[in-house]
Structure 1
Amino acid sequence: MKTHRLRDLLIWQKSMISVKDIYYLTENISSTEKYGLISQIRRCAVSIPSNIAEEAGRNNPKEFYQFLGIANGSSYELETQLLLLVELDFKSEKEILPLLNVLMEIQKMIYKFKINLMKG
């Protein structure tokens, strides 16, 4: 199994961009939420590229597969939290839709990457 050059992984690149977008989206939300939902949203966003990075350089496809699963779980958690921003009237659907679309893309990429890892 080959190692993966982290910065060449499109899935990592996209998830890094989404982290910046999440930070921009949440920067103007009420300071009372700073340590609640906003903190959780940011941690989930950072978790996606971080988990991809954690195993990208190793030669163990089973471990990489597992960390991709963790990244995928974080992406679904983040999706839920973005929807909560709308439910709680912190953001509009229009504001979060681009991020939801990118998350869906990342989720599909993770799925395909996991399949390719197991094929060898």
Structure 2
Amino acid sequence: MKFKFEDLIIWQKAMDIGEDMNTLSRSFPKRELYNLSSQLRRASDSIALNISEGSILQSGAEYRKFLGYAIRSNAEVVTCLHKSKRRNYISEDDFLKYYKNCFDLMNMTIAFRNRIKI
């Protein structure tokens, strides 16, 4: 038994990004605990949450809306990564690795959303 969204590559990649951001945020200064660290974790978790929520008992239009939320959460993660780099919490190499993962997921999610009929 499993839910249909568990087979989606975009959901699997979103789950990976959520775990990566959770691990990454642990290295941030304590003063960021309720600011950037929390925002990064919540935004990254929101990607997979919206992909899964939209896939269950939704019309095509509703599913597309939830995928739009996932796309916007992904953009929020990218902004948090930029903030993290500017504040010297992450290296350029880590930034580029996570940025690429987000960029790839964004494009995959947009392509997937475009295939859903309204």
Q: TM-score, normalised by structure 2?
A: 0.93
> 1:33 corresponds to which letter in structure 2?
E
* Aligned residue in 1 for 2:56: 57
- Corresponding pairs, count: 116
Shift of 1:94: 1.0
* Aligned residue in 2 for 1:35: 34
Shift of 1:90: 1.2
CA RMSD of aligned residues (A): 1.3
Where does structure 1 differ by over 6 angstroms across 4 or more consecutive aligned residues?
A: none
Shift of 1:59: 4.2
CA offsets per residue over residues 50-97 of structure 1, 9 Å max, x none?
000111122411000000001101111110110110111111221121
Shift of 1:47: 0.5
* Aligned residue in 1 for 2:88: 89
* Aligned residue in 2 for 1:114: 113
Q: Can you give the 5+ residue segments of structure 2 that lack an aligned partner in the other structure? A: none
CA distance in 2, matches of 1:83, 1:93: 10
> 2:91 corresponds to which letter in structure 1?
S
Residue identity (%): 30
> 1:110 corresponds to which letter in structure 2?
T
CA distance in 2, matches of 1:111, 1:56: 15
* Aligned residue in 1 for 2:102: 103
> 1:29 corresponds to which letter in structure 2?
F
> 1:26 corresponds to which letter in structure 2?
S
CA distance in 2, matches of 1:98, 1:92: 10
Distance 1:91 1:58, change over 3 A: same
Shift of 1:8: 0.3
CA distance in 2, matches of 1:58, 1:11: 18
Task: Give the secondary structure class of the aligned counterpart of 1:65.
Answer: helix
Task: Answer yes or no: is 1:11 the counterpart of 2:43.
Answer: no
Shift of 1:25: 1.1
Q: Can you give the 5+ residue segments of structure 1 that lack an aligned partner in the other structure? A: none
Shift of 1:102: 0.8
